[in-house]
Every structure is written in C-alpha cells, then in structure tokens.
Structure 1
Amino acid sequence: MPSPDWAHTRPFSSSLPRFPRAPARTNCSSSLSLCPSRGLMPLVLPDSPSPLQRNKQPVKQMSGTGSASHRPSKPSPPLPAPRWLSLNRPTPLASLALLLLAAAAVFLYSQTAARSYESIGEVPPLSSPTVGTIDGVRAIWELPAAAAPARAVLFVAHGCRCRPENFWPPSPRCTGCVGLPEDVAITELALRRRFAVLAVASAGDCWSPKEVNGAKRVIRSWAAKHGIEGLPVAALGASSGGYFVSRLAAEMSLAAVVIMIAEGAFGGADGALPAVYPPTMFIHMPKDGRRAALLERNSKMLMKNGVEVKELQSLEFPLTPTLLSERIPGLDRELSERIWTAFREEGFVDDNGYMKEDGRATPWKDALVKRGFWKEVSPWADHIQEELNLAYGYHEMTSLHAEEMFDWIEKHLK
C-alpha cells in the first residue's frame, strides 16, 4: 500500500504466530510508545518451512509509493549447499536412507503448506468474479458457490491509488486483476464464509465523502439484481476506504463495519453520531502512533454513544527465507530465499530478521537489480511490497486477523 491517508490503502491470515518480545531495538523511535521489543534468536536458513504462511494521510478526499532507479550489476553468488549434501561416498544403505528422508521432508513440507494455505484461502481459488459497471461505477463482485448460497454481503473499499482488482487473482474472468496477497486472502475467506463480496472503484485516486450516496445505490441495486437484497451487509475499508466506510455506516443500515489502518470519520458538521451506528471494529498498526491516538479517541467517543467497539492490533514480524513464497501464491521458495539473502546482506533486516525501515523507504528494488535478478522478481513487485509493509507493521492492508474479524462480523449478522 502506498503511504498513509482519508484518502488511502490495502488485509492475510491469523495463522501467524505471536513472536516473543524482549529488549527494544536501539533504533526504535521513542515517539512510538507501543513500539514492540524483540527477543528472537538470529535467523538462519532453515531446511524446514517457516511457520509463517501465507498505503496513505487523511485529507478532504478520504487520502497516499515510490519508485527506485535501477543499476544493473552482477548476480549474487549461489547459496551454499546444505552440509548433509557434502557427505563423502555414502553407502547404498545410507543413500537410500537419505533419499527416503528427502522424500519425507518434501511430503511433509507440501502437506504443511497445503494446510496453511487452506487456513487462509490459499488453495486453488474459488475465484470466479464478474467485472462490470453498476449505475455507472466500475465494480467487481463474486457470490459464493450455488451449493452454499450467500448468507451476507461484504462491501470492500480500497485505499488511495488502489483498486478493486487487487482483491481477486488474475483469471479469464478478470484478466486485469492483480491479486495482492493480503487483499485476496480476505476475499477468499469471505467467500468460504458465504459472503457475497462487492468491491467498487472510487471516482478519484482516493474516496470522497460525496461518493457515499452513490455507494448506497450501487450496493442496493446490485443486491436486488442478484436476489440478495434481504441479506445483512457488512463493510470493510482500509485507509481511505476505512474513512469511507465509517461515513457509509452513518448513512445506511450495516450489520458491522471494519475500519482498517484508519481512525474513521464520524458525525456530520456538528460532530454528532446518528441515533443508530453499527458495531465497529478497528484493525490498526500501533507503530503509527499518531493514528493510534486518534483511533483511541474515536473508540471512546463511539462507546460513550453506546456503540460496540472492538480493536485488533497488527504488529511487526520478522522476515524469514520462505516468508514471501509462503504468503504470495506463485512466488517459488528458491526466489524467496534469494530475496531474503539479499535483504540480510544489504543490511535491510536486523539480526532477528525484523526490517530496519518501512518497506516503502527500503531500496530493495535497487538491491535486486544490482544482484542481477530483478527481472525474475519484477512481476511480483507489488505483492512483495505489500508483504514488506506488513512485516514492518506500518499502514498496510492485513489479513493476519481475518479469521477473528469474520468471527466477529458473523456474531452481528441478523
């Protein structure tokens, strides 16, 4: 996601473990009172898979990265072979044992990956979206399989300079779809939970409050056309989209609203809430101290007005050699390991694998160009950028809490 905004953004799964924390890093800004500390052993290239599996500033528009210059250079040397591959003249029995161990390792890895992918929607996609226009607004939508009819509607609002195509992988039905990993994970889990998913494009780079009435009409006409107008509607928006759905919730009946990496925009000119406002969930990254403080203020205001509020925090986590291949379908493990090695050797991560700087400020593209394998990586650049931003824990769409989020939404379906 680009940089923070009421005007911008982009959520994978709750399957990430909670990492132990200890003394704070020396470069952790003192202005971030919630900056997590760490106590992990230094990372080394493992032979087994990692446990990890598979943005913008408020303005009048609801609004926020960068490009890198590329300097071709020599490719980096290949990774050293694991020690067990350098055994001298193994006996036939030892060779057979090694083959069996290798086969077992491959099998166990594939099974682990399959289970992890399934837990977050990373199995052969259900994807069969429809791309079209509704009342003149560009939209993409998908309904659950006919065998399991929809039980609710999920309206999703993208962030600044993002688009509905981020929420579905490329397919014959959506050749322009991008399929960013965090976004797709949410869509796939929603479909598995029998939500009909609707995403529409903002009129400009970011959402404007003036689009609220149009969004209401789009949701209602789309639901009527598909015979689901009686179903409860939940709304999810990230960054600019988060501000937008907080406004939408004041103008139409919603079962629940999820505001991601945004503090929301509540009340009219007089600052008053409507008499009825839906249960509200905030998912945010406390490393963004300013936004966390505003969010706390708005949470207290909502609760004072009788609104049920829930808060989830998305914290930073370390990169591992296989993180990118585990969270980005189609990016293979070997390439993920090469990228991680480059990050380590360039000093982009600390001894525990945590990113030293925001992914948007890290010149990782230059580094991969210099090492000679940018061409292999470039098709995945946006996907990788999203995961780097997420790992740093600052203003990015996140599906890390998707299961908990949908559990909470489902409690409020009527």
Structure 2
Amino acid sequence: ASWRAQEPQGPERHQFLLLPNRDPKHRRINSPSEIAIMRNVVDGVNGDDPDIDYMWQRPYTPHQATGILFVAHGCKHSGTDWWPHSPQDCPECLGLPEEMAIVHMARDKGLVVVSASSTDRGLGCWNNGGDGARIAKVLQHLKETQDDLVSLPIYGLGSSSGSGLVGSTLPKALRKLRESSENGDQ
C-alpha cells in the first residue's frame, strides 16, 4: 500500500514520508522501492523557542540498529540537505549527493540517521548558545518514543559549524540533559 505525508498530529506530531530510494546499489532484495523517513516536531526548549522539526531514518536492517548518528549541516545549509527531494512530500529536501551518500553508508552500517536545522536560518550556522540544547532534546525525544533506541549510543558528524556543534556544544548539552533527568529536574 502506498501512503503519503500526513499532517503532524497529537503530542508527538510526527509525519511519515515515503521518498524514492535513489541509490540502487544500496537496495536489498527484500527492501521496498521507497524508503520511509520520519519527520517529527517537538516543542522548543523554552516557552519562547520555536518548535524543532527533525527528520530521521532507520537502518536498512531496522531490527539491528547499532547506534544513532546525528548529522549536522554546515553554514548556508539545513537539515533537509540529507534527504531526497520529493515535490509532493518534501519539496524543501535537497538530497545533496555527498550528504545522501553519508546517510546511505551509515544506514548500511546499522545506524539510525537524524538531522535537524540550526535556529539561524539566515546564515544557516549553528548557534553555540542554544542549538546544543535543542538537538539534545531532539535526540531525547527520539529515544523516548522509540523503545528499541533507548540504550543505543549517539554519534555525531558535522561539517563547518556543524562540527563545532557535535564536537563540543552537543556533548555538553546531552550531559546536562542526562544529569537533570537523573536528578528529577524534568
């Protein structure tokens, strides 16, 4: 059965996208001709923050996920660069070749791939002040809503300002979020 994007609803506000698999060498005999990409929206970190829109995809062998890879774009880019363009379901997705190759390789190695966009949509660079907490919340939300991902390690890959996010800002934000959860602050 074929299905298309659905409007986000309820507290999880998720959307399913079916986008064509444009990399035939990564197809499996038993895989569908299309790939399911989840698009979720979670509330911002503070009351005045905008909602956080993120996209993620399971590995080719979903029951054998080995970790979660957050991919962080560089300046002048966005989280939709990593996913295939679809005029109907994801018109803002660019499907940049190198980014999509990274997603395919990571999924082939058993990783769940996650992307989101920085708050600075003018320059597109990551903000060291608030974006780390936003992405930590995204990763926490993903783990909380997907039982099989709870104990998986989180990895990060970033280019340009994205490398600063995954190399410094995000680990600190994840640690702070974990400590506040352990102390019952949330």
TM-score, structure 1 length as denominator? 0.30
Q: Alpha-carbon deviation of 1:146? A: 6.0
Return the letter of the residue paired with 2:163: G
- Structure 1 Cα separation of the partners of residues 89 and 111 of structure 2: 19
Of residues 115, 118, 133 in structure 2, which corresponds to 1:213?
133
Structure 1 residue 222 corresponds to structure 2 residue 142: yes
Q: Is contact 1:129-1:174 (8 Å) kept?
A: no
Measured after TM superposition, the shift of residue 176 of structure 1 is: 2.6
Q: Which has the higher strand share?
A: 2
Q: Percent identity?
A: 28
Shift in Å at residue 147 of structure 1? 5.2
Q: Does residue 232 of the first structure (1) align with residue 147 of the second (2)? A: no
Instruction: Confirm whether residue 157 of structure 1 aligns to residue 72 of structure 2.
Output: yes
Q: Distance in 2 between matches of 1:218 and 1:174?
A: 20
Q: Which runs of 5+ in 1 are unaligned?
A: 1-115, 254-414
8 Å Cα contact 2:58/2:107 also seen in 1: yes
In 2, the alpha carbon distance for the partners of 1:236 and 1:252 equals: 15
Alignment of 1:14-413 (within 5 A): 118=25, 121=26, 127-135=35-43, 136-145=51-60, 148-171=63-86, 173-204=89-120, 205-210=124-129, 211-227=131-147, 228-247=149-168, 248-252=170-174
* Partner SS state of residue 141, structure 2: helix
Deviation at 1:208, TM superposition (A): 0.7
Distance 1:242 1:125 in 2: 33
Q: 1:125 to 1:164 in 2, by over 3 A?
A: farther
Distance in 2 (CA, whole Å) between partners of 1:122 and 1:229 is 27
1:127-186 CA-to-partner distances (Å, cap 9, x unmatched) read 321223223112111112565432210011111120111101124543431100000000
Alpha-carbon shift at residue 126 of structure 1 (Å): 6.0
- How far apart are the structure 2 equivalents of 1:182 and 1:126? 20
Deviation for aligned residue 1:236: 0.6
CA distance in 2, matches of 1:146, 1:131: 19
Answer whether contact 2:71 2:114 (CA < 8 A) is retained. yes
CA distance in 2, matches of 1:167, 1:198: 9
Counterpart CA distance in 1 for 2:127 and 2:92 is 24
Distance 1:154 1:167, change over 3 A: same
User: Contact (CA 8 Å) 2:80, 2:93: kept in 1 or not?
Assistant: yes
CA distance in 2, matches of 1:122, 1:178: 21
Residue 64 of structure 2: SS of its match in structure 1? coil
**SS at structure 2 position matched to 1:128:** strand
Structure number with the bigger relative contact order (C-alpha 8 A, sep ≥ 6) is 1
Q: Which has the larger radius of gyration?
A: 1
Question: Per-residue CA shift, 1:280-318, capped at 9, x if unaligned?
Answer: xxxxxxxxxxxxxxxxxxxxxxxxxxxxxxxxxxxxxxx
Pairwise CA RMSD: 2.6
For 1:130, give the aligned amino acid: M
- Structure 1 residues 122, 168: CA separation in 2 closer, same or farther (over 3 Å shift)? farther
